[in-house]
Structure 1
Amino acid sequence: MQNLSSVNKKNTTLSFWFATLSLITLFAASASPIPLYSIYRNSIGLTTESISLTAVFYFIGCIISLIILSRLSNYLGRKPVSVVAQLLGMTGLLLLLTATSPLGIIEARFFQGLACGLASSVMSVFIVESSANKSLTLVNAITGSSVLVGLAFGGLLSGVFVQINSHGSKYIYWLLFILLAICSVGILKGKESIPKRIGAIKSLRPQIKIPIEARKYLPSAIGIFAGTWAIGGYFQAFSSTIGVTVFHMNSPIISAIILASFMAPNLLGSSLSGRLNQIRGENIGILIFMLCIMMMYISFLVKLFPLFLIASIVAGIAQGIAYSSAMQALLIKSREEEKAGVLSVIYFISYGGAALPSFILGRFSNHLDFYQISLTYLIIVLLLGSLTLIYNSKIRNKEQPKNI
């Protein structure tokens, strides 16, 4: 007969892996419509402006979850709130299945945003809390890269399905719906990581809070979180446009490859970040990232798709190094009970960095061509990346021992 310790370990492992799979699947679902935007242009009249709005409402949903709903799990438990996130994601997929106008896509993306915002904070903490006997490298790689790996996987899978079958979008949406349902059952069978307590209603009050010990690392982290996710938002909105407008390749699979080329390498970068101290990882990652986004823009001007792919892949690796380093710099200075709130702040800044450029440039999409929009994103990255490098230089100078 199994003893209590072995049962608890088994249930904790179940929670760990199903929380990981749930987080990846939710973000895969959120990326699944992106390679299909070129198809939706012809079938339901999706315009460049409405594509920007899909990104904006997705990020609005994320931010609402992060600042209002994310702390519910501290009171109700990680399991029920994780399941709510999956139900929201499943609702988004059902809306995509029934969408007949741009408004339907926008509504679906909003629900996906609610789901992903809730999952990115709650499930990330659930993974950490359920990681007993798991290596720190594995846990850091999962929490630092699951979001972008999910986005890459969902986009690529969607592109492949539609390339094979013109009705593939319905198959991919149903497949992800079933996966989320299975994940919900797995989460419910796993072990809860914190006790329930009263105060859930009070937790709905919007709150942004960083522990005092971590605050000096926040300005440099803002440059990384906002700058890298601005480009992530760019790829989510314009991966189809890049293929069609710049390289004249109108194919869902090409759109999916473009999206995956930036998102997937993040996993490698997150793993590499563990070999560097936090400030060094931030500096190396964001500097390479800035250079790669410059190279990406040059590839647009000279119409070289291989150069674009190289720049995009290396940028994804650099993002993983910088983002994971900045995340760890904040989390390492936070107590266990503070980590859910810190993760909410991290993702709030990240989603804000993605949403704000999408919203502003979407308003001017009728007056700016795609190259001008891309140049604006490059300028944003250079400004925010410079903020990180300058502020980290000040931190390093303060921490160096002074000669007496």
Structure 2
Amino acid sequence: MKQTQISYAGAALSLMTTYLASGTPIPLYGRYQMENGVSYMALSLSSVLYFVGAVTALLFFGRVSNFLGRKPIALATILLAGASTLCFMTITGATPLIIGRLLQGLASGLASTAMAAWVVDNTRAVPRWLTPAILSCGPMTGLTIGGVGSGVLVEYGPDPRHFPFYIVLVLLLCCLALLVMSTDSVIHKSGALTSLKPQLALPSSARSAFPVAACTFVCTWALGGFFQAFGPAMAQHNLHSSSAVAAAFVFAAIMAPSSIGASLAGRVSAITAQKVGMYSFTLLLGGILFFLYQGMLIPFVITSILAGIAQGGVLTGSIQTLVTDLKQDERASVLSLIYTSSYIGAAIPTLIAGRMSESYSLFTVACGYGVLALLGCIYVYAFHRQKAKTLATQESHYS
């Protein structure tokens, strides 16, 4: 295997494993509620602080890898993920959960810049569609594997509160070894301290496409945040299953299939993937709400899987409209902006949902996400309709 392929594999697998670590605690939320008295509000707050940690890393450390190199930041990311995993092995109440999620957020934010930029740096070593797929679906794939794997181990494995985290630590050590063998794509240079100043700028090549792309990021990641915080609760209270595996599959249903959508998106233009993906996602979210209201677990999971496929398509299409033709020193900054908008778009609705869950049912809270997706769908339609009119006017003018 060529050195660029080793570096690509190391960065991509480490990106997914960092998110795998973030998905591992989720099936245990039910146990934390019953055995340690962790409230809905505490679960929501832990998710919000996860997003806060990610946004903090993106804002303040998003460009550091342009100066210190991708490799040192990637290694630090794995160490942070390991520290967060150790926190979850000592949970006796809400505080270790919240601290662990904050550390996971910091690790995920760093992974979304240094590791993601390292993937883009070595993109010539792989098929063209693979990099946008990894950037858009790698995090969700990792979350899914972590959630489902943990759910199975919690239900059927030994020492359910600790054994899943032992597995995560082994995987993180493997990633650490692979990163050590990889070759950095950035030469160390001065300016790292200056780069700590937040700078969310877009090159001209990505500026016009960002508003509609950000809209799709917010709508899709917001729903992912809801499933992350309340998936086990929906499984137990709305879909009538207390199984940790069922809770994991409820969470994974919206996450796992995104890679399928990413692959399908690679066969059409980025704009087509963005439009069709967003329209389908909104329609299927309506189905998710219907089956949640009816308390029908199997149709709910099937519809969530289809929505996950649509989500992968729209995210891949939107990211492709932004990262195409970027220069090397522009990549980390653009990726920071992509993931910052995504995390903020997930954090704010999750915080609101946590507050609302104290007074309203989970179904009522979930309906708010349906309204958000509908508004986003309308904006995507209006944006592309106006763009088509502008292009038609320009063509008629020059003809």
For Structure 1 versus Structure 2, the TM-score category normalised by the shorter chain is: over 0.9
| CA positional deviation for 1:333 | 4.9
Which residue in 2 is equivalent to 1:199? 191
Partners of 1:295 and 1:336 in 2: how far apart?
Answer: 42
How many equivalent pairs are there?
Answer: 396
Which whole-Å deviations, capped at 9, do the CAs of 1:200-234 have from their partners, x for residues lacking one? 00000011111123211111111100000000101
Any unmatched runs of 5+ in structure 2?
A: none
Q: Does 1:56 align with 2:36?
A: no
Q: Paired residue for 1:218, among 181, 190, 210?
A: 210
Q: Does 1:107 align with 2:82?
A: no
Q: Does 1:14 align with 2:6?
A: yes
Which residue in 2 is equivalent to 1:133? 125
Partners of 1:132 and 1:227 in 2: how far apart?
Answer: 31
Which residue in 1 is equivalent to 2:236? 244
Which whole-Å deviations, capped at 9, do the CAs of 1:140-196 have from their partners, x for residues lacking one? 322221111001000000000011136223111111112112211211211111111
Partners of 1:207 and 1:363 in 2: how far apart?
Answer: 31
| CA positional deviation for 1:334 | 2.8
Which residue in 1 is equivalent to 2:302? 310
The percentage of aligned residue pairs carrying the same residue is 34
- Alpha carbons of structure 1 residues 385 and 169: separation in structure 2 relative to 1, 3 Å: farther
| CA positional deviation for 1:275 | 1.6
Q: Secondary structure at the match of 2:184?
A: coil
Q: Secondary structure at the match of 1:121?
A: helix
Q: Paired residue for 1:266, among 229, 246, 258?
A: 258
Give the TM-score of the pair, scaled to structure 1.
Answer: 0.95
| CA positional deviation for 1:384 | 1.9
Partners of 1:387 and 1:92 in 2: how far apart?
Answer: 38
Whichever residue aligns with residue 215 of structure 2, its letter is G
Is contact 2:132–2:319 with CA below 8 Å preserved after alignment? no
Partners of 2:353 and 2:295 in 1: how far apart?
Answer: 23
Q: Does 1:75 align with 2:45?
A: no
Is contact 2:157–2:163 with CA below 8 Å preserved after alignment? no
Which residue in 1 is equivalent to 2:367? 375
Partners of 1:155 and 1:262 in 2: how far apart?
Answer: 12
Partners of 2:222 and 2:165 in 1: how far apart?
Answer: 26
Whichever residue aligns with residue 283 of structure 1, its letter is K
Is contact 1:273–1:324 with CA below 8 Å preserved after alignment? yes
Partners of 1:16 and 1:327 in 2: how far apart?
Answer: 19
Which residue in 1 is equivalent to 2:395? 402
| CA positional deviation for 1:253 | 0.4
Q: How does 1:284-295 map to 2 (within 5 A)?
A: 284-295=276-287
Is contact 1:140–1:271 with CA below 8 Å preserved after alignment? no
Which whole-Å deviations, capped at 9, do the CAs of 1:112-139 have from their partners, x for residues lacking one? 0000011012111111212343111223
Which residue in 1 is equivalent to 2:15? 23
Q: Does 1:43 align with 2:35?
A: yes
Q: Paired residue for 1:320, among 312, 328, 331?
A: 312
Is contact 1:214–1:333 with CA below 8 Å preserved after alignment? no
Q: Paired residue for 1:92, among 80, 84, 91?
A: 84
Is contact 2:240–2:295 with CA below 8 Å preserved after alignment? no
Which whole-Å deviations, capped at 9, do the CAs of 1:278-334 have from their partners, x for residues lacking one? 222111000000001110000012222222112101110001110110001011153
Which residue in 1 is equivalent to 2:273? 281
Partners of 1:374 and 1:327 in 2: how far apart?
Answer: 26
Whichever residue aligns with residue 87 of structure 1, its letter is L
| CA positional deviation for 1:12 | 2.1
Is contact 1:220–1:389 with CA below 8 Å preserved after alignment? no
Q: Paired residue for 1:330, among 322, 333, 337?
A: 322
Q: Secondary structure at the match of 1:71?
A: coil
Whichever residue aligns with residue 402 of structure 1, its letter is E
Q: Secondary structure at the match of 1:276?
A: coil
| CA positional deviation for 1:380 | 1.3
Q: Paired residue for 2:382, among 375, 379, 390?
A: 390
Whichever residue aligns with residue 57 of structure 1, its letter is L
Q: Which moved more, 1:28-37 or 1:304-313?
A: 304-313
Partners of 1:131 and 1:254 in 2: how far apart?
Answer: 37
After superposition, the CA RMSD in angstroms is: 1.3
Is contact 1:158–1:169 with CA below 8 Å preserved after alignment? no
Q: Which moved more, 1:73-82 or 1:388-397?
A: 388-397
Which residue in 2 is equivalent to 1:34? 26
Which residue in 1 is equivalent to 2:173? 181
Partners of 2:219 and 2:251 in 1: how far apart?
Answer: 17
- Alpha carbons of structure 1 residues 381 and 166: separation in structure 2 relative to 1, 3 Å: farther
| CA positional deviation for 1:358 | 0.7
Partners of 1:259 and 1:24 in 2: how far apart?
Answer: 17
Whichever residue aligns with residue 271 of structure 2, its letter is I
Whichever residue aligns with residue 186 of structure 1, its letter is L
Partners of 2:229 and 2:158 in 1: how far apart?
Answer: 22
Partners of 1:241 and 1:10 in 2: how far apart?
Answer: 46
Q: Which moved more, 1:37-46 or 1:357-366?
A: 357-366
Is contact 1:141–1:267 with CA below 8 Å preserved after alignment? yes
Whichever residue aligns with residue 88 of structure 1, its letter is L
Q: Paired residue for 1:230, among 203, 222, 226?
A: 222
Is contact 1:161–1:169 with CA below 8 Å preserved after alignment? no
| CA positional deviation for 1:364 | 2.9
